[in-house]
């Protein structure tokens, strides 16, 4: 009786070993500051006209527009504010408006009920406690309804040319991580990490530069690294 032949087994294919992509070493101290200043220099050259894109004529209009910009685009806010300020051009006028009237005008900005309460409360408090003028101090600003540290930094930097801090919005937070400036995710901690990296006189403009770059090139989902002026020095572009 012939012996049974054992079935042939297919030879095992050799699989190429995957090489893990290594993150660039994290910069610290003077090396991190030099890296940050180089990025700032390039962004300044790329966006020489970077500015606050919320249309405003005075500190009151900027404060209100910034409150409305939460979870909303600047472009949408700029579509709403002309009618808002036509009807209520001053804190005194806005303080006399009804909540329902304000809601109807700002509805398209989203979260309009909360925003209406905030800007109405802001106007009334400015009239009652500050003589109808937007205060110029951080402590007083953050006590106004709807105004936190980010909004206060926007108002101080753009309406009063005072560099008291750095505006950290979603773009600045995202780019700060991608550029390797900080691994923090809390806006206040991100601001604290950025402050020692840049000259104080450039803090307001720095935010504009990062926001413009975030909107035009370094998008959240599909950053265009191939056309970015920072591709050769950005740690995220190397991943």
Residues 175, 123, single domain; the answer is no
Contact between 36 and 202 under an 8 Å Cβ cutoff? The reply is: no
CATH number at residue 194: 1.10.1670.10
Residues 128, 206, single domain; the answer is no
Q: Which one of 159, 193, 214 terminates a domain?
A: 159
Residues 197, 217, single domain; the answer is yes
Catalytic residue among 18, 150, 189, 232: 150
Instruction: Write down the pTM of the prediction.
Output: 0.86
Residues 125, 92, single domain; the answer is yes
Helix 59-68 to helix 112-130 angle (10° resolution) is 150
Q: Which one of 159, 175, 198 terminates a domain?
A: 159
Q: Is residue 9 part of a domain?
A: no
Residues 170, 144, single domain; the answer is no
Task: Output the pLDDT for position 23.
Answer: 52
Note if 189 is an active site residue: no
Q: Is residue 137 part of a domain?
A: yes
R_g of the chain, CA atoms, integer Å: 25
Task: Output the pLDDT for position 19.
Answer: 41
Q: Is residue 212 part of a domain?
A: yes
Task: Output the pLDDT for position 20.
Answer: 41
Neighbours of 64 (CB within 10 A): 27
Mean pLDDT, contiguous 10-residue spans, the chain (239 residues): 53 48 70 97 98 98 98 97 98 98 98 98 98 98 97 98 97 97 97 98 98 96 94 84
Nearest CA to 70 out of 174, 148, 186, 6 is that of 148
Q: Is residue 15 part of a domain?
A: no
DSSP state of 72: S
Cα 10 from Cα 83, distance rounded (Å)? 76
Note if 169 is an active site residue: yes
Contact between 181 and 207 under an 8 Å Cβ cutoff? The reply is: no
Domain count, the chain: 2
Cα 109 from Cα 72, distance rounded (Å)? 6
Q: What token pair was written down for 57?
A: 């004529």
Cα 114 from Cα 116, distance rounded (Å)? 5
Residues 68, 146, single domain; the answer is yes
Tell me which residue has tokens 């400015």: 126
Cα 139 from Cα 184, distance rounded (Å)? 24
Catalytic residue among 4, 117, 169, 186: 169
Residues 214, 191, single domain; the answer is yes
Q: What token pair was written down for 60?
A: 């009151």
Residues 169, 117, single domain; the answer is no
Task: Name the residue range of residue 142's domain.
Answer: 59-159
Cα 76 from Cα 81, distance rounded (Å)? 9
CATH number at residue 134: 1.10.340.30
Cα 42 from Cα 15, distance rounded (Å)? 43
Q: What token pair was written down for 170?
A: 């979603």
Residues 63, 154, single domain; the answer is yes
Cα 41 from Cα 33, distance rounded (Å)? 12
């Amino acid at each position: 009786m012939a012996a049974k032949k054992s079935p042939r087994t297919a030879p095992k294919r050799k699989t190429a070993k995957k090489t893990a992509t290594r993150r660039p070493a994290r910069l610290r101290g003077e090396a991190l500051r030099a890296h940050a200043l180089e990025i700032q220099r390039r962004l300044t050259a790329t966006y020489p006209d970077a500015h606050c894109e919320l249309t405003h004529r005075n500190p009151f209009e900027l404060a209100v527009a910034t409150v409305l910009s939460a979870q909303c685009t600047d472009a949408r806010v700029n579509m709403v504010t002309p009618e808002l300020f036509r009807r209520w051009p001053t804190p005194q006028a806005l303080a006399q408006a009804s909540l329902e009237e304000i809601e109807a005008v700002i509805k398209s900005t989203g979260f309009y009920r909360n925003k209406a309460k905030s800007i109405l409360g802001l106007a009334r408090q400015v009239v009652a406690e500050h003589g109808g003028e937007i205060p110029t101090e951080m402590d007083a600003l953050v006590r106004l309804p709807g105004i936190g540290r980010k909004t206060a930094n926007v108002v101080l930097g753009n309406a009063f040319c005072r560099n008291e801090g750095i505006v950290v919005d979603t773009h600045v937070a995202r780019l700060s991580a991608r550029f390797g400036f900080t691994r923090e995710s809390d806006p206040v901690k991100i601001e604290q990490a950025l402050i020692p990296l840049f000259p104080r006189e450039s803090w307001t403009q720095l935010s504009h530069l990062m926001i413009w770059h975030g909107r035009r090139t370094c998008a959240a989902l599909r950053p265009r690294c191939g056309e970015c002026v920072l591709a050769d020095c950005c740690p995220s572009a190397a991943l």
